[in-house]
Structure 1
Amino acid sequence: MTIKLIGLKADHFRHPLDLKATTQLKQIPGLDLAMRGVLGSVAEDFFYLNNIASSILISEKQLPDLYELLLSACEVLDLDVPQLYIQQNPIPNAYTLAIRGKKPFIVIHTSLLEILNPDEIKAVIAHELGHLKCEHGVYLTLANIMVLAAGLIPSWGTFVAQSLQSQLLQWVRCAEFSCDRSALLVVQDPNVVMSLLMKLTGGSPSIASKLSLEAFMAQVKKYQAMSQTDIGKMLQEMQTSQLTHPVPIIRAKEIENWSTSSDYYQLTQKEKIGYNDKSTGGWRNW
């Protein structure tokens, strides 16, 4: 039985790398206020119009099975229900945004649904909910706008844009680790999350059900072996420096490791679940 994490806060499961990178982004002066103001309002309206015009809004009357997955995941994470859209797209992907918290939404591409089973789809939804829970959407949008604005200022724009782009990509990669944890907290089975990552790596409707998770996880050792030499380590850094996500094999290993940690155990064991202790402002475990 899935355990509901009443009173769950983002920092209860946030990955340490995400915490560090998010703290650094918060220190950029004035950007948070700007995005939560006029710029945020315009952006929210733009995305809302785009979603309504070109995607299917999921509800109790429109693909209710998917809507139930959304409701269940939100209930586990103690999170308000955002809008969920399905969009026709041949590239398997999903994304979310919540700039000011007023119009949060998730979009899932049809091609992604075609290679996943219901539990894996729920993990995708929970991953995207992790972005909302951790308020990642705010800082991602802030950083994107900063890069665009800096590019319009000749004297220092190029340097700032390049510097912030590198910082942004590093932050996005770190944030993904937290959202994978969010997926695990919802499905409460590491094999589901690892299988999802495997299918994102090399799945298709015709072969997805034939893939071996055991063989996929065996690739971790081969990847890690590359870091034992200076050249291998350099190549890995070059490979990941421009990516928006960590390589799937490492994400899967991170989930495997966290699923056996005391932090995960305390969050998901029913007799260990505490409550949001308002008197101390903290999370209490029994």
Structure 2
Amino acid sequence: MTQTLLVGLKADQFRHPLDFQATQALKQFPGLDLMVRNLLGPVAEQFFYLNNIAASVLVGENQLPHLHNLLLDACKTLDLEPPQLYVQQHPVPNAYTFAMRGKQPFIVLHTALIDMLTPEEIQAVIAHELGHLKCEHGVYLTPLNIMILAASLLPNWGAVIAQSLQEQMLEWLRCAEFSCDRAALLATQNPRVVMSVLMKLAGGSPTLAPQLNLDAFIAQARAYDDISNSELGELLKSAQTAQLSHPVPVLRAREIDKWASSQAYQSLLQPTSIGYNTKVASKGGWRNW
């Protein structure tokens, strides 16, 4: 299978406009970046590192090498240094990233997510998480992850957080996810793979996943736009997503559907768009494990 290596790729070449706007808004909170680097960052980094070492499996050449190869291929395509990759036993399908600038970043995949995805789809998930690293989302992901963790362990702790900051950070994260979905598309260079992951996150399981109809889900995603045709529909959509950490799956699929057909995306795959793109054949095509 032929893929384009995006040598010299910059985050702003695929960053979603909403991500850019939300990041600028977060920067209006003075001292947030400094607080994360000097106070929250070191503590959180040590906590998550110990958690991974103690309760997860570190992927490498001699440990789940098929996942290691998917990571290396995605990093090569996105022109990014490989982070550590861990697999953690967990019944909830999920993946997440931790990164502080200048420190060792890592990605964690839950077993429940791996169990219902194909190798191509797993690589899309890995590339999505790499998008957080490429876009340097780590500074704001750290306090948000701490807020979510603290809220789950100490329900009353959420009242201590300034409501405006919490809402602003959730809005930022939802916007940042759109950029990371674009990174997944750039790595796989197949919008159907990315949209299939979103479909399975919305209503999949190891037994149901092979039975799902992607074309029907894409039609469902396009129909979601029709709700915005009325003021009430737009209001209900905003209320539905206000407290979510991620945009709803159908909206993310619709965004990828649109961007995949855009000139901006197509131009990134052209050999002269970045300056040093080269076409290579993936070793043996997509691996089936």
Q: Which moved further from structure 2: 233-242 or 121-130?
A: 233-242
Counterpart of 1:222 in structure 2 is 223
Which residues of 2 match residues 100-115 of structure 1 at below 5 A? Answer: 100-115=101-116
Shift of 1:148: 11
Shift of 1:249: 0.6
Structure 1: gaps spanning 5 or more residues: 150-156, 277-286
Counterpart of 1:3 in 2: which secondary structure?
Answer: strand
Shift of 1:42: 2.2
Separation in structure 2 between the aligned mates of residue 22 and residue 145 of structure 1, nearest angstrom: 18
Identity of aligned residues (%): 63
Which residues of 2 match residues 204-283 of structure 1 at below 5 A? Answer: 204-275=205-276
Contact 2:19 2:175 survives alignment (8 Å):
yes
Separation in structure 1 between the aligned mates of residue 42 and residue 12 of structure 2, nearest angstrom: 27
Which residues of 2 match residues 26-175 of structure 1 at below 5 A? Answer: 26-142=27-143, 161-175=162-176
Matching residue's letter, 1:179: C
Counterpart of 1:283 in structure 2 is none
Q: Quick one: structure 1 residues 230 and 2, their matched pair in 2 at CA, closer, same or farther if it must change by over 3 Å? A: same
Which structure has the higher relative contact order (CA within 8 Å, separation 6+)? 2
Task: Give the alignment's TM-score, normalised by structure 2.
Answer: 0.87
Counterpart of 2:18 in structure 1 is 17
Shift of 1:263: 1.3
Counterpart of 1:164 in 2: which secondary structure?
Answer: helix
Counterpart of 1:86 in 2: which secondary structure?
Answer: strand
Contact 1:15 1:174 survives alignment (8 Å):
yes
Separation in structure 1 between the aligned mates of residue 228 and residue 160 of structure 2, nearest angstrom: 30
Aligned positions, number: 269
Separation in structure 1 between the aligned mates of residue 114 and residue 146 of structure 2, nearest angstrom: 31
Counterpart of 1:279 in structure 2 is none
CA deviation string 1:227-285 (max 9, x = no partner): 22333222211111111111111111111111111111111123544159xxxxxxxxx
Contact 1:40 1:100 survives alignment (8 Å):
no
Structure 2: gaps spanning 5 or more residues: 151-157, 278-289
Separation in structure 2 between the aligned mates of residue 132 and residue 183 of structure 1, nearest angstrom: 12
Q: Which moved further from structure 2: 24-33 or 235-244?
A: 24-33
CA deviation string 1:131-181 (max 9, x = no partner): 1111112112245668999xxxxxxx9697111111011101000000000
Shift of 1:82: 0.6
Separation in structure 1 between the aligned mates of residue 124 and residue 50 of structure 2, nearest angstrom: 27
Contact 1:147 1:164 survives alignment (8 Å):
no
Counterpart of 1:194 in 2: which secondary structure?
Answer: helix
Separation in structure 2 between the aligned mates of residue 169 and residue 239 of structure 1, nearest angstrom: 13
Separation in structure 2 between the aligned mates of residue 272 and residue 9 of structure 1, nearest angstrom: 11
CA deviation string 1:180-214 (max 9, x = no partner): 00000000011110111111110111121111111
Q: Which moved further from structure 2: 60-69 or 226-235?
A: 226-235
CA deviation string 1:49-106 (max 9, x = no partner): 1100000000000000000000111111111111100001111000001023412110
Q: Quick one: structure 1 residues 67 and 148, their matched pair in 2 at CA, closer, same or farther if it must change by over 3 Å? A: closer
